[in-house]
Amino acid sequence: MSASRSSQRFRHSKLSLFVALATVVAAARAQLSPTFYASSCPAALVTIKTAVRAAVLLDRRTAGSLLRLHFHDCFVQGCDASVLLDDTGNFTGEKGAGPNAGSLRGFGVIDTIKALLEALCPRTVSCADILAVAARDSVVALGGPSWTVPLGRRDSTTASLSTANTDLPSPASSLSTLLAAFARKGLSSTDMVALSGAHTMGQAQCQNYRGRIYNDTDINAAFAASLRAGCPAAGGGGASAPLDATSPNAFDNAYYGNLVAQRGLLHSDQELFNGGSTDALVRSYAASPAQFSSDFAAGMVRMSGIGVLTGSSGQIRRNCRRVN
């Protein structure tokens, strides 16, 4: 077989896999409905929104934390609230995985929302749906776009530490690794670049950008120098830094302008604008807030349909931290 024919078959195989995954995600999403709680818990959405707004007013970082919780949930065995499960004597959850340990925040906000909803509508609103709606409301709270959240997810009774360690992209990921990670979830390259715009809010720990500010060459020199004072080259610890130094407390398209200026905080951020296939899209988002907002909202709806449990699958947890 010729090399070119082999390459064509490989590309066709990858395309077929992506189409199959996208079909599965679409089928799962079709079982969800934005009016799922209209009769069973009509105050569900306003209850979540009010609690999220209150939490973000107290600490604006909470918005990024809640959005990240939803992402870290969906990329590990689907949007099923598995990320919220605590370890027990005979159960290992995902909170101790490398990408999660010591960095995931916002669990208390979800606990508060769940307690409110259990008082209003016992055993009705899933933790997985709370995560999806809270992510949307967090974006809106910082001035970002809104979107209609399909509802009806149920909660898992399992979690996967190993999948959390393998499927969540690393801050050191290359562009090809990022594209592959999203493709495995049925998400396109456009989805990947748009959803990376979540880094317009939130912070990262020194350990996650230390290698970039000391070793990478595709970084603005003054930007790197400004970060080194709070993030020593050797040893642990160090400060945290905003993922978007331009407007860390607003959801906007400044993240992409930062990438064009070689001011991406994480190595994986700058990979989106580093001479590769996604450069043009980064420039488009940097120039058009409307295009970014539209693509981000569409990508969030697609991501929130990954591997959902519906119908009689899973359960409605009474406490998001443990199975019933």
Which residue type is seen at 13? S
Choice among 12, 70, 72, 267 that is catalytic = 72
Q: Give the tens place of pLDDT for each residue, 72-99.
A: 999 999 999 999 999 999 999 999 999 9
Q: Which helix (H) or strand (E) holds 99?
A: none
Domains and CATH numbers, the chain: 189-301 (1.10.420.10)
Q: Which residues are annotated as a binding site for heme b?
A: 199
Q: Which residues are annotated as a binding site for substrate?
A: 169
Q: Give the tens place of pLDDT for each residue, 192-248.
A: 999 999 999 999 999 999 999 999 999 999 999 999 989 999 877 778 999 999 999
Q: Which residues are annotated as a binding site?
A: 73, 76, 78, 80, 82, 94, 169, 199-200, 244, 252
Q: Which residues, including other chains, have CB under 8 Å from residue 123's CB and lie 6 or more apart?
A: 316, 318
* Alpha carbons 136 and 149: distance in angstroms, whole number: 8
Q: Which residues, including other chains, have CB under 8 Å from residue 300's CB and lie 6 or more apart?
A: 135, 136, 139, 147, 195
Instruction: Report the predicted TM-score, pTM, of the whole model to 2 decimal places.
Output: 0.90
Structure tokens at 178: 């990022």
72 is catalytic: yes
Q: For residue 167, how many other CB atoms are within 10 A of its CB?
A: 17
Mean pLDDT (the chain, rounded): 92
* Alpha carbons 133 and 149: distance in angstroms, whole number: 6
